[in-house]
Structure formats: structure tokens, C-alpha cells
Structure 1
Amino acid sequence: MFTQTSTVTRRSDATHRHDLDGLRGVAIALVVGFHIWMGRVSGGVDIFLVLSGFFFTGMLLRRVDASDRVAVWQTLRRTARRLLPTLMVVHAAVIAGTVFARPYTQWGDISAQTLASVFYYQNWYLAHAELSYAAADPSVSPLQHLWSMAIQGQFYLAMALLAGAWAWLSRGRGPGPRRVSLLLVITALGAVSFWYAAQGSGRHQAWNYYDSGARAWELLVGAALAVALPWIRLSMPIRVLAAALGAVAVLSCGLLIDGADVFPGPAALFPVGAAVALILAGAGLGPGEQPWPNRLLASRACVELGNLAYALYLWHWPLLIFYLVENGKATPGPGGGLLILACSVILAVLTQRMVESPLRARANSDVKTEGSPRYRRAVGVTVVVTGVAVLAGAVGWQMMLRANPAHPPQALDALSYPGAATLLGDSVEQKAAAMRPTVFEAEADAPAPTYDGCITPNREVRVCTYGDPDAARAIAVVGGSHSEHWLPAFEMLGSEHGFRVVTYLKEGCPLTLSDQPSYAEFPFPECREWTEEVLDRLAETRPEWVFAPGTRYRMHADGDEVPPEFLDIWTALSDRGLRVLAIRDTPRLRRDGIMYRAIDCLAHRGTPFSCGVERTTALDPQNPAEQPASAYPNVFPFDLSDSICRPDRCRVVEGNILIYRDEHHLTASYSRSLAPELGRQLGALTQWW
């Protein structure tokens, strides 16, 4: 994607495609601009992936034509020497910024992502983080953008091995038949990848976006072009039309399509097709013979921007994230965006001239390059030391965390840790005590299903029993993690009052009969399929009550609401003769629409009060479920917000117990402190005690 041809080895190569250098420059400008000011995907990365497949495969073919082999190790080593120095410099800056400017509770995630990006599996790290409620939100990571670098690196390795095997197996055959065989393999692999991406886009887009298998077809399109280009002949009118349409598509893609919702599914044919059109339009022609869009892309401004593409891509995202986090904003605005852009360009220029160019220069080159041989050696040593320091720091912090794993508190003294009891109106004596769980214990202070596998990450319906397993009566706790985090309180009540707590839980999946609910960012038909099976099982087992959230926060405004999809579920449960305990969902920590973790705020000089949220920001004055529930005789809404929030503010610590383990999930410790009030309200509704 970002592999750049050496200034030294390419200036005299008349066949070099300067227009594609310019295309890379325009694409990176779109990526940066859309990230900074529009907060959406421009399609530029998809264009990069096509160019990456085209350039890298073309280089492999030239080596096979010249020497009848690929020299896999040497190829990968040279590629690493081009990519790793700048990457290590940026990593060092991100680590330094994290240590000095961010709370220490984020160091573990940043060190893990550092290793993931250096070893080119960052896309898989982020894919798992998207599915894991125990993981930090990847959208606020200064290293999130390196997922595309990981996919590029994985492709380089796979393509080098494939080309090496092809060169060995096809020895002795003519160049034409050899290329045909490689083209057939690449086309078949690309078709499978495209089918897989199309399937994933409709089933689980959050995973699909980062999936190497789903992204492979974009790179393989470029690879197939590199193989087939000698056989493609286009007339000039067709070239001009292709170039014009391609240029328009490149510039308009981000405005017409938000790629985060649909790429790399079939919608990605739009940017991929644009790149293909521009590659074909200028193929085999001299700079002065190419269609006018290609000549514009070959202009000095675009080419120079293309030379900065790699460094600019690496720098802009960390600067954007640090700026937004430090200022508590969702967008930087015009002035902040210009500042980020200016700093990104300056750092990219400095990195390109002081690190990239000197290290890419060959010692025996007769072309003038940046710096003397002594300077190049000094830069090389500095980069190596920097890389070792980055890896040592990341590995060391991960080893420290693994040697000292967090153990959540199991039973807290009620006198020292009354928790929710301090909010219920009765005078509660509270001893002075340190907050528990601590900021390091919080993420591990999760309910039992997180650890025993009773909340499923996939399509499987898992049924588990807690409380009194031998009791005749049962309450089914159903839905996603916002049902799950009440389980510690339910376990205590089930054992005390003699009822089974039967769980039907799936990560990120409140019950829904829609493939894409109004509150979901991506299509998630797997959740709908899971819900349908759960409803059937509930109809068969017939628990006395079904417990599920009855409200949800408004995504783009203050307060909470009842999404229309919840009403569909109430109707489905009513049709099956099941009674519903619809609890008001817990308030979420957010400022100006931005979620934040309680532990990060507390570790960053915050207090229980300052790290909290105004009640009017988190919750409507009245429970939104009361009015719609009046039309459903089987639905009984209830509200424990007064056990979490004070009249004016929802703090993050009450009764010496930390309420939140992240942005919106209760700690198991605080959930247990809610058992008395939950029991009081359940007793009144169920008449069981």
C-alpha cells in the first residue's frame, strides 16, 4: 500500500508510473481530510491496497523474469527496511505521548497494540477488540490506523511465498503460459475473498472491516492487473473515459459512501474500480501521452505528496487522537484540524527527509541522496536503538501485567464498602477505606459469564443456570452485556429467595428482530438469528419472568429512550405468553457525545465527582419505558437509577465501590451492592417474597 520506490533506483526508469505516485498522494490527502474533518472513511485506503497489490506483484514478476526466482527472504528484508524505520519512529512518539500525557491505565492497551502493529497483526487485534466488551474502545487508539499496514504486510508475505512457489513449479515453461497460470490462481483467490467479504458485510461488519480474508480481494485485484497488464490494449478514447471516471470516483467516494459501514463488501468496488481505471488509463504510455487526469496526477505537487504518503499516513492519526482526547472533543473543528494537518505534514517531511530517504539510499549509488554515508549510518543506528527501545518497553510492560494479573475483590466488608446503600436514603455508616476495585482491578471485576463462557461471542445459544439450581421457579436473564452485568446481584437473590437464574446472553446483542436496529452502527443479522432461537427456547421452557433492559441511551442526544426494536421484542414475548421485567438501562459515561472510561479519568487526576456525568445528560427525568409499557400488560418496567446516581449527578464511586469497570458496564462488586434494592423491587413485582 505505502511501499515507495526509491528515488535512487527509479528516477532513470522511464517506465515508472509517476501518475500512480500522484494517485497515492491524492488518496492519502483524502484519507487525512476525511479523518480530521468528516470522521468517516474516504475510500483512500482501498485505493492504497489496490496499488500495493499492483506494485508489489509487478516487482515480483520482474525478478522472476530476470532471474527465474523470487528470493523471498531478500524481498521481505528489503521491504521491511523500507517500512520499519518510519514506523518505529512514530511508535516511539506515540509511546512517549502516552506515557507523558495519558493515564497509566491505557499503557497496557497501547503496549499490546504496539506489538500487534510492529508484528503486523493489528487488524486481528482490533477485530477482537470490536467484539470484546472487556477491551478498550479501539476507536480512541492512536494506533488504530495501522490495521491497514498489518493487512499489507500479511499480503506481502503471502504473495512472496505464492510467487516463489509459482516460479519454482513453472520453471521451463514459456513466459505466456507461466503468467496465465499465476493469473488463474490470483483470480480464483480474489473471487473467494470477494464472496467472503460480501457475506461478512451482511453478517458482522465490525469484524469484516478488519478481516484479512475479506480485504484480500482488493490487493489481489491489483496483483491480477500487474500480471495481465501486458495483454490489455485500450484505445485512447476508452483510456480518457476511464481516467475521467476514475478520477471522479476517487474524489467522490467518501462523499457518496461511508466505507466503515460497507467496505470491503461489494460497495468497495467503487474505489477499487476507480484505482483500476486509472491504472489501465495510463498503462504503457509515456508521461506526455497519458490522458489528462493521469497527467494531472503526475504533476509535481501530487507526486511529492505521494512521496510523503507513508509518513503522512502514520503521523496524522496519532496527532488527531491525542488532540481530541486532550481537548475532550468529538471533532477538531476547522482551526484544530488545520493545526493537526500542518503538524502532520511537517513531521512527515522531516521523517521522509531525515529517516526514509537516507536509509533507502544505496551506498554505491551514483545519484545524489540525502546525507553522507556517515549520516546514513548514524540514522540507521538511531532507528535500530529506537526500535529496540520500543519493543523492549512494550514487551516489558506486557510481561509486568502478566506477572501481576488483576484479581477482582470477591467479598467486600459491608461496613467499609456499602456501595449502593449510601444512596438509598437510610443513614449508612461508612468507614474510611480505599476504593475497590482499584483502577487496575476494575476491568477484571466482571460477572461470571465473562469467565465461564456463558456469554457467547457467536451464533451459538448458550444456556447457563445460577442462583438456586434446584428451584422450581426461574427468571431468565436475556440479552447482551447490559443484562449480564446484573447477574452478580441476581446470583445473591436467587440463592436467598430460592429461584433459578437462567441466562441467555450474547455479546453486543440486546434482543432484536431486526438485521440492523436503529441503535446499531453496522448490520448484525447474527443477533437477529440468535434472538429468534432464544425466543423459541423461552417459549418452550417458559420461565416465570424474562429480565432484559427496557431502555437504551440516545446515541446522538442526551438522555435515554425505548428503541422501536424493543417494542417488537415486547410484542414477541407477549405473543408467547411471557412476562417481562424491563429494567431501565444504566447511565453511560460521556461528555459531548464522547464515551470515556472511569478508570482512565480517575488515573488522570480525576475524582469520583469530576469523572461522573450530569444526571440530565445520562437520563431523562422519567423512565422512558413507563408510557409505552402501559400498552403491554405483560411488561413491567422498573428503575434502579437512584441506586446508581444522585439527584443531580452520576458519580463513578459510591460507598467506596467503583461503579463502572469501563464506560458503561457495572463492576461486579457494585452490582452485588445493588442486590438489596433489586430484591425489594423484584419482590414487589413478582410477589415471590
Structure 2
Amino acid sequence: MSTLAPTRPVMGTRKSGFYRHDLDGLRGVAIALVAVFHIWFGRVSGGVDVFLALSGFFFGGRLLRNVLLPGATIAPATEIVRLVRRLLPALVVVLAASAVLTILVQPETRWETFADQSLASLGYYQNWELANTASNYLRAGEAVSPLQHIWSMSVQGQFYIAFLILVFGWAYLFRRLLGRHLRTSLIVLLSALTIASFWYAIIAHNQDQAMAYYNSFARGWELLLGALVGALVPFVRWPMWLRTVVAFVSLAAILSCGAFINGVEQFPGPWALVPVGATVLFILSAANRMADPHLTSGTLPLPNRLLATKPFVALGAMAYSLYLWHWPLLIFWLAYTGETRADFLTGAVILLVSGVLAWLTTKYVEDPLRYRTPAEKPAVVVPLRVRLRRPTIVLGSIVTLLGVALTATSFTWREHMTVQRANGKELSGLSSRDYPGARALINNARVPKLPMRPTVLEAKDDIPMSTNDHCISDFDEINVINCTYGDESATRTIALAGGSHAEHWITALDLLGRMHGFKVVTYLKMGCPLTTEENPLVMGDNRPYPKCREWNDEVMPKLIADHPDYVFTTSTRPWNIKPGDVMPGYYLGIWEELSDAGIPILAMRDTPWIVRDGEPFFPSDCLASGGDATTCGIDRSEVLSDHNPTLDILARFPLMKPLDMSDAVCREDYCRAVEGNVLIYHDSHHFTTTYMRTMTNELGRQIAVATGWW
């Protein structure tokens, strides 16, 4: 997860003869850290934050130093054209290559997500697309996207446009009024915005770190701080000994950041100050020479001189393309091989191929379309040996056509998926004879040879009615949402309470309620069971979920006050550390509260979670890739213990009535992906609504035994 849009870091002019070669080198070091930590360690190195700070410094600092000078021409259109030439060509090439690899390597169940993210990447809102995924429980288990890394480029692009509007708007409105104080006033404003963004980042990080990670406002301070340093750096003076110490310390902090700080969990909160602050200090370590370009390179501290050497500068020159290529190559390789991590040799090959593609992209795509004349080339010679020329019509046309084709293809596939969803509406009317589903296991119903339903493309949207009715609180919500299903006029009530694993039983409960005269009232929150756990985590990715604790504090008093005839909820969860399932200790307090209130509990054993190598596994993806009902399933012993753990505590809680539908999902020794011509899961651990309908009779039998209602 990192970024670098190729900026034009001109600190001086050809006449002055000054250019910050060391910052090109720092850019090269940062991209190397990003790639190495992604490929071999599965961690965030802090390189993304180095890039954001450098981008703010190069782009924002240049505007603040030059555009606001007396007599400067205000030409935002020129800046936008420069940004388009700088950012889009290499991006389009990599997106087009990724689209081809997606079709060749990824199952078609992943194509819609890629189409959405392709459009988001081209439109520079990929960070918000990923933030939505992080907050969407039904998408939380999706495979890592080959375009996930482009989120940070979207943050940069949004910053560039917003900064242009702010700077040019401020200059246009207040140049005459403020005169020579114009730049000072804007710096004061930007300083206030930087502080506000940093404060917001801390708050957002504490509330929902996954959302904050991709949030443009939470990341804005990193770019703004770089821009402010770019504006103020000509006025900074440091003694040589102090600059040398600062250069060594800041470079050491950048190099070691990924090893000591888990950026995936800690950024963009206060710990992001480490890479960003280190970058700022490294920039300032050569501030004297920026103020006086006539000083020799020998006046630079040793770390700066080291990073100004040709190998580092060359790496920095192609950093943008290297960043674009390394992540999708890694993800596609892992998807193709089924591995979860690259070993040393594989990682080295991925880095090598990424480097070659980055060099070719820089030489034959980026530079020809980026620099129209040699005069536009930064005043530095890098060892790419590119002969500058005007962009050719052919090259520009090819890139444009690739972008148009990618956009058209993405929209076409999305339209195809819309048709698939429309076809999925017929699932509720499938013949029980042709599609017996769970009845094939429970009643040994005959299974004719027919195509599976829902199809792999229909499965994603075969979800409970309560989700479509917005009757389940999302991740950020703590209010209790009540909706009524079944026989709404009935006097008998079952409260359906807990997370989405309680929710997906609503389909069968609604049918049973209509048949047997009871209503079902929902008390649901995504990913949040009834629990007394003080620090709950989101099941599956283990990120902190404080809103679950707050929601439980709200829902339990309401449940007790409403006093339903029964509370239907899940009573077990899968082990995280070994095969099988368990009844967590933090459920006991819930059983005690309900029992003390005299409310009986319909305790449903949790759904078997399909996992491979400790990661969520989507049977629909497996089936789309050519697998079958057996190869896309899992051993029963991996997901279910020999007996229902709930049975161990029944003597302590006499009002608890255990329900166990495991035999309606799994065979004696194996849990298949498809039973009775019906796909069981719409992801890795939620039943399709179609399969749930086929379990209605067996669920009704068990509830009748537990309640005596029919």
C-alpha cells in the first residue's frame, strides 16, 4: 500500500545549476522499501508516507514558491495538463495489462470488483472505493485487489486538484488586497489545515482505523506538511554538524520504520509522524544549499551525497512505474499459484520483472509523453539515456485507446452483472424437486442433473431480505434497528439478535413465522454477536471493533425490556487457533443476563466457516475457476468439532434450547460447496438465501421441539 506520482522536483533552474538529486535517491529508497516489505514481509514500510510528503513538497512547494510571486501568471489549466501528462500514461498501461491478467488468472467472480476498481483508479477515487470495501461486511472477505495500491495515487490526485483550486483561488481573490502578504496568509491557512487534518487523522484512526487508512482528509496533513516545508525551506539555516546528524537520523528512521511500526494498523495516526517527520528532516538537512545554489555538493551531508549517486537517482527516476507494476505482479502470481506469500526466490523474480517493466514503461511511455521538449526535462541527467522528443501521435493515440477500451470494458461487464442480478430474482421460485438443496442431506431427496443455482455470478447478491431492507446496523452504527418479519400481527415473538450469522436465518424464520403464527423482530449488527467482550474484533481480519461493544451496551437492555418469547442467536464461533468450533467464554454473560430476565434462548450453532491456510476461502471463486462441489469444499473436522460445544453448558442454563443445522450443511465427514443443486455459500461463511430456503423444514422441526409451538 503505497504511492508515488511522478513529480517534477525542480529545486532550481539550469542557470542556477542546482537540483536535489538526493531526493530522487530518497524516492528510490522508499520505493525499494515498499516493494520489499510488500513482497517478503506482508507489511507496510512507511514508504507511502515518504512519497506523500515528497509529493506535497515537490508540487505544493513549487506552487507556493513560484505562483504567488508578484507578477506571476495564474494558469491552472497549464498545471492540470501537466498533471495529466505526468500521471495517466503509465497508469493506463498498467491497468490495461492488469485487465488482461485478471481475465487470464482470476475467476470471473472477481471481474466486477476489478471493473469497479479500474474505473475508480482512472477517476482517482480508488481510496474511497477501498474504504467502502473495508466498511462493507459483505465484501470484507474479498481477495486482495491487484489495484489496491493505487489508493494512494488517488489521494495524491485529489490533493493536487484541491491544492490547485486553493492556491489559485486564493491568489485570484486576495492578490490585490493582501499584496506582498499574500504568500504569508496562505501559509497560515495551510498550517491551520495541516493541524486540522492531523487532528482528524487521530480521531478517525481511533474510531475506525480501516476507513481512516484510505481517507483523503486523514492523509491530507502528510502532503500539506511537505508543501509547507517546500515553501519555508529557502529560509532555513543549519550548521553543518547538525545537518549531518539530522540526515543520518532521518534516513535511519525511514529505513527502519517498517520493521518497528505496523503501518497497516497504526497509520495514518500519530505513528505516521515517524516516516513523514523523517522525510521533512531529510529535506531540511540540505536546506542551506537550496537557499544558496552556488554552494558545492560537498556542503551536503554524507547521507544526502550518497543518495545523490547515479544508482539511487536512476531508481528514483522510474519509481512511479516500479510502484505501479510490483503490486499487481505479486497479486496475480499469488492468485495463479494459490500461495499466500512469495518465497525469497519468487520475490526476487517478481522484483526483477517489475524493474524491467518499470524501466521500459518509463523510457517508452512516461518520458516521451511527459516532456514535450528538452527544456521541460529537469536539470539533471539520469542514466536512462532517453532522447527527448515530442510525443508522437501514435503513442498518444495508443494510450488513449487503451484508456477508452478499459473504461468501456469495465462498464460493459458491470452492465452484464446488472442483468445477472435481474435473473437472480427468480431464485425464490425454484422448483423444490429440481433444487432440493439441504433436503438432499436431511431427507435423501433425489437430485436431478441440472445446473447449480445460484450461479457463481448470482451468489454475491443472494443475500437476506433484512440486508436489502437496511434492517442491520452497519459497522459505524450503534443504534438498535428493529424490523418485523413473519406474522406481524402475531402475539408470539422471536427476537433475532446478533451479527450477520444470526441474520442469514431470517429467510427461514420469516417463512416459519408466516406458517406458524409468530413474528420475528430483528436486533442485528454487522459482524457483531451478542457478547460481553470488552475489546471485540471483527471476525476474519481481527481489526478492533469498539462499536460492537457500544452496540451490545445498547441492545441488551432493550432486549430485556422488550422481553420476547425467545431470543434466537448464535452460540458458537470457529476457533482461530485450531480446527473445530467453540462457545466463547464472553458469551456466558449474555446467557446469564437473558436467563436472569427469564427469556429463553434458541442457541444456534454457528455456520461452518470455509477457510484455506487460515484465510477465508470463497467456494464460488473455486467453482468459477473450474473446481467442483467436492474440491471447493472442506473437511468437516476442520470447521466443526465432534459435538456441539453448546451442549456442555445446558445444565447451567436450563432456558437455553440448542439448535444445530450442521447436518443440513455438511455430510458426515465433508462439507461440500454445493448440495442438492444449490450453492451453499455466497461468500466464505454466509449461506445463500436460496440454500436457506431449503433448510426451512428442518429448522422448523427443531424449533417446534424447542418451543412446543406446533
Structure-2-length-normalised TM-score: 0.91
Match of 2:369 in 1: 359
Which whole-Å CA distance do the structure 2 matches of 1:511 and 1:267 have between them?
33
1:173 deviation in Å?
A: 6.6
The one of 443, 447, 451 aligned to 1:434: 451
Tell me, yes or no, if the aligned pair for 2:574 and 2:639 is still in contact at 8 Å.
yes
For residue 265 of structure 1, what is the amino acid of its counterpart?
G
The alpha-carbon distance between structure 1 residues 498 and 23, as it changes in their structure 2 partners (threshold 3 A), is: same
The alpha-carbon distance between structure 1 residues 641 and 69, as it changes in their structure 2 partners (threshold 3 A), is: farther
For residue 479 of structure 1, what is the amino acid of its counterpart?
G
Match of 2:6 in 1: 4
For residue 43 of structure 1, what is the amino acid of its counterpart?
G
The alpha-carbon distance between structure 1 residues 511 and 40, as it changes in their structure 2 partners (threshold 3 A), is: farther
The alpha-carbon distance between structure 1 residues 595 and 235, as it changes in their structure 2 partners (threshold 3 A), is: same
What SS does the aligned partner of 2:603 have? strand
Match of 1:673 in 2: 694
The one of 353, 358, 370 aligned to 2:386: 370
What SS does the aligned partner of 1:477 have? strand
Matched, 1:480 2:499: yes
Structure-1-length-normalised TM-score: 0.94
What SS does the aligned partner of 2:139 have? coil
The alpha-carbon distance between structure 1 residues 568 and 275, as it changes in their structure 2 partners (threshold 3 A), is: farther
For residue 320 of structure 2, what is the amino acid of its counterpart?
Y
Which stretch shifts more, 271-280 or 176-185? 176-185
Which whole-Å CA distance do the structure 2 matches of 1:320 and 1:571 have between them?
49
The one of 398, 405, 409 aligned to 1:382: 398
> What do the CA deviations read for 1:383-440 (whole angstroms, capped 9, x no partner)?
122222212211222233335543331132221111111112x332233332111222
The one of 469, 486, 491 aligned to 1:452: 469
Which whole-Å CA distance do the structure 2 matches of 1:11 and 1:561 have between them?
68
1:11 deviation in Å?
A: 8.5
Aligned residue runs from structure 1 range 41-52, under 5 A: 41-52=44-55
Aligned residue runs from structure 1 range 496-645, under 5 A: 496-514=515-533, 516-517=535-536, 519=539, 521-555=542-576, 557-574=578-595, 576-627=597-648, 631-645=652-666
For residue 413 of structure 1, what is the amino acid of its counterpart?
S
Matched, 1:19 2:22: yes
The one of 241, 255, 259 aligned to 1:255: 259
> What do the CA deviations read for 1:184-224 (whole angstroms, capped 9, x no partner)?
21121122222222112111112111111111111111122
Match of 1:468 in 2: 487
> What do the CA deviations read for 1:51-88 (whole angstroms, capped 9, x no partner)?
11111111212233275344222111111111100000
The alpha-carbon distance between structure 1 residues 661 and 513, as it changes in their structure 2 partners (threshold 3 A), is: same
The alpha-carbon distance between structure 1 residues 576 and 532, as it changes in their structure 2 partners (threshold 3 A), is: farther
Match of 1:401 in 2: 417
Which whole-Å CA distance do the structure 2 matches of 1:231 and 1:7 have between them?
18
Match of 1:284 in 2: 288
What SS does the aligned partner of 1:288 have? helix
The alpha-carbon distance between structure 1 residues 8 and 41, as it changes in their structure 2 partners (threshold 3 A), is: closer
The alpha-carbon distance between structure 1 residues 687 and 522, as it changes in their structure 2 partners (threshold 3 A), is: same
Which whole-Å CA distance do the structure 1 matches of 2:255 and 2:338 have between them?
31
1:515 deviation in Å?
A: 5.8
Which whole-Å CA distance do the structure 2 matches of 1:552 and 1:343 have between them?
43
What SS does the aligned partner of 1:504 have? strand
Tell me, yes or no, if the aligned pair for 2:234 and 2:287 is still in contact at 8 Å.
no
1:260 deviation in Å?
A: 1.2
Which stretch shifts more, 486-495 or 404-413? 404-413
Q: Please, which runs of 5 or more residues in structure 2 have no aligned partner?
A: 290-295
For residue 656 of structure 1, what is the amino acid of its counterpart?
N
Which stretch shifts more, 579-588 or 43-52? 579-588
For residue 60 of structure 2, what is the amino acid of its counterpart?
T
Tell me, yes or no, if the aligned pair for 1:8 and 1:361 is still in contact at 8 Å.
no
> What do the CA deviations read for 1:215-254 (whole angstroms, capped 9, x no partner)?
1111111122122323333333332332222122212211
What SS does the aligned partner of 1:455 have? coil
The alpha-carbon distance between structure 1 residues 164 and 486, as it changes in their structure 2 partners (threshold 3 A), is: same
Match of 1:686 in 2: 707
What SS does the aligned partner of 1:546 have? strand
What SS does the aligned partner of 1:64 have? coil
Match of 2:293 in 1: none
The alpha-carbon distance between structure 1 residues 175 and 50, as it changes in their structure 2 partners (threshold 3 A), is: farther
Tell me, yes or no, if the aligned pair for 2:619 and 2:681 is still in contact at 8 Å.
yes
RMSD over equivalenced CA pairs, Å: 2.5
Match of 1:164 in 2: 168
Matched, 1:339 2:357: no
1:10 deviation in Å?
A: 7.8
What SS does the aligned partner of 2:645 have? coil
Tell me, yes or no, if the aligned pair for 2:494 and 2:568 is still in contact at 8 Å.
yes
Match of 2:292 in 1: none
The alpha-carbon distance between structure 1 residues 532 and 36, as it changes in their structure 2 partners (threshold 3 A), is: same
The one of 36, 40, 52 aligned to 1:37: 40
What number of residue pairs does the alignment pair up?
A: 688
The alpha-carbon distance between structure 1 residues 560 and 279, as it changes in their structure 2 partners (threshold 3 A), is: farther
Tell me, yes or no, if the aligned pair for 1:612 and 1:649 is still in contact at 8 Å.
yes
Which stretch shifts more, 396-405 or 156-165? 396-405
Matched, 1:264 2:290: no
Which whole-Å CA distance do the structure 2 matches of 1:568 and 1:233 have between them?
63
Which stretch shifts more, 171-180 or 356-365? 171-180
The one of 318, 325, 349 aligned to 2:328: 318
Which whole-Å CA distance do the structure 2 matches of 1:305 and 1:625 have between them?
59
What SS does the aligned partner of 1:507 have? coil
> What do the CA deviations read for 1:272-327 (whole angstroms, capped 9, x no partner)?
22212212222232542222222222232222221121111111111111111111
Tell me, yes or no, if the aligned pair for 2:494 and 2:518 is still in contact at 8 Å.
yes
The one of 491, 495, 507 aligned to 2:510: 491
Match of 2:681 in 1: 660
Which whole-Å CA distance do the structure 1 matches of 2:651 and 2:227 have between them?
61
The alpha-carbon distance between structure 1 residues 650 and 483, as it changes in their structure 2 partners (threshold 3 A), is: same
The alpha-carbon distance between structure 1 residues 268 and 637, as it changes in their structure 2 partners (threshold 3 A), is: farther
1:625 deviation in Å?
A: 3.6
